Structure 1
Amino acid sequence: MLAGLTVSAILWIRRTNDDPMLALVWLGGLVGALLGAHVGFILAELPARIDGSGGWLEILGGRTILGALLGGYLGVEGAKRMVGYRDTTGDVFAFIAPIGLVLGRIGCLLQGCCPGRPCAAAWYAILDAEGVTRWPAPVVESLFNLLAALLLAHLHRRRVLPGQLFHVYLMAYGVFRFGHEFARDTPRLGGGFSGYQVLALLVAGFGTVRFLQRWGSSPTHGSPGMNIRFSPARRPNVDLRKDETAG
């Protein structure tokens, strides 16, 4: 997570050269992500440990990217309202977030945290510090986020779904994380489900709601990507002639 924050800071600092208000927007996202990461971890882990299984210090000090995504989103939107910034910023976060997750999961792999469930020996399995064969959960999540970052960066360059790419990522990652959670070694609430799957559904649902809200607020209900490409042609001819004579 620290790697992701570092990457986002570097990219945002480059953008603040054009608009200093973006620094305040990034700060709001940072505070929201840190708070959301801690709150999300407590909500995901605490219900499964009510029986007194211990690990309270771990719960209080833990973090989850699911909470960070929600908290960061709310932090950015709150900061934008405070400073009066009206432009969309989610498209940049759409590939900053998965890049940060790739780096973060590599750290998880090296440190042995966030492991997969024990499994039979196979070419894809990894050994933990105790010699237990496990599903390569950090590797799988890194690959997913690497592909997501590449695809979203491509869509951003092509101006496809402008202003919607982070919502797309929230939906995709939420669905992926819900399914992948069955293979991760995390505390279970019952029926094989974990608290992280509840958070994953919240992330996917939140992304879907915000996607539909922004889609409905667009001038037309056609393809947002096409709207952004052909919108100059919708300007009145008199405005175009004035622009030409003024040059």
Structure 2
Amino acid sequence: MGIENALGPNWYSAVVIAGLLGSAYIWRRLTKAGPERSARDRFVLTIIYFTGLFGALIGAKLAFFFAEGWLYRDNMLALLTGRSITGALLGGYIAVELAKWKLKYTSTTGDLFAIIVPFALILGRIGCLAEGCCPGVECGVHWWTMTDAQGVPRWPAPLVELVFNAGFLGWSILAQRRSWCAGNRFHVYLIAYGAFRFAHEFARDNATWWGPIGGYHIVALLMVVFGVVRFRQRRRVGAVGRVP
């Protein structure tokens, strides 16, 4: 079920590509800043970025299979295209940490991702709005509702997620300038987005397992727990210490 879209079926793909290219450009600019980074460090950071992107793609697919893939076992197109940002965040994080361990890169990278990830997700949600995917639950007509292709008013789930990520992006930029939560900003994002997503799942039109609880609730809780654990580990080590 999709929200009516006058921009055409290729708009979502175009926005996703723009998000990937834009985040890669921002990553390159951020990693080039500061004379303390050698050419090798910048090369390693490029590898880390693309490894994280690959891990995010794998995690996004696994989360979809876990949460609702069983609903589409006879729909090959849905199985091929289904994905979830909740799994992408966890998969990308794990891939980055594995790459850093393999490459023996011990500096923190989360503060960089705390900027580029919300930026990429903002563009992704713009694509959702244009394409009509990821709808909210049916609700009464209000000024803030969105009407799907069948004329049903729905909770504006993609727009709400866009606003959340825009707000966090603003906080992350301000935190960088004022040195808030140095080395821990992406952990803050995991905690904040996980808690937000858990609550927001009740307003999203996704498959559920037990009453209103679905697989994405579980993934969101894992995100919060993982973020809290890593936040505490990072705080003990210190922002400039070795990555635990």
TM-score, normalized by the shorter chain, greater than 0.5: yes
Query: Which residue of 2 is the match for residue 28 of structure 1?
Result: 51
Deviation, structure 1 residue 14? 2.5
Q: Does residue 171 of structure 1 match 2:210?
A: no
Distance change (3 Å), C-alpha of 1:181 and 1:2? farther
For the pair 1:39 / 2:62, whether they are aligned, the reply is: yes
What corresponds to 1:209 in structure 2? 229
After TM superposition, the runs of 4+ consecutive aligned structure 1 residues lying more than 3 A away are 1-4, 15-18, 52-57
* % identical equivalent positions: 48
Structure 1, residues 120-164: CA drift from partner, whole Å, max 9, x if none? Answer: 000110111111100100111100110011011101111111100
Letter in 1 for 2:57: L
Please state how far the C-alpha of 1:13 moved relative to its aligned partner: 2.3
CA–CA separation in structure 2 for the residues paired with 1:213 and 1:2: 34
1:11 aligns with 2:26: yes
How many Å apart are 1:217 and its aligned residue?
Answer: 2.3
Structure 2: 5+ residue stretches without partners: 1-15
3-state SS of paired residue (1:20): helix
Note the C-alpha offset of 1:86. Answer: 1.2
TM-score, length basis structure 2: 0.83
Contact 1:4/1:96 (CA < 8 Å) preserved in 2? Answer: no
Q: Measured at CA, do residues 10 and 63 of structure 1 come closer, stay the same or move farther in structure 2, by a change above 3 Å? A: same
1:76 aligns with 2:96: yes
TM-score between both structures, scaled by the size of structure 1: 0.82
User: What do you get for the CA RMSD once the two structures are aligned?
Assistant: 1.8
**What corresponds to 2:153 in structure 1?**
133
Paired with 1:61 and 1:53, the residues of 2 have a C-alpha distance of 13
Distance in structure 2 (CA, Å) of the matches to 1:186 and 1:53: 16
> Which letter maps to 1:125?
T
1:188 alignment partner, SS class = coil
Runs of 5+ consecutive residues of structure 1 not aligned to the other structure = 219-223, 229-247
Q: How big is the shift at 1:15?
A: 4.3
How far apart in 2 are the matches of 1:36 and 1:57? 18
Q: Please give the alpha-carbon distance, in whole angstroms, between the structure 2 residues aligned to 1:173 and 1:138.
A: 14
- Aligned 8 A contact 1:105 1:138 in 2: yes
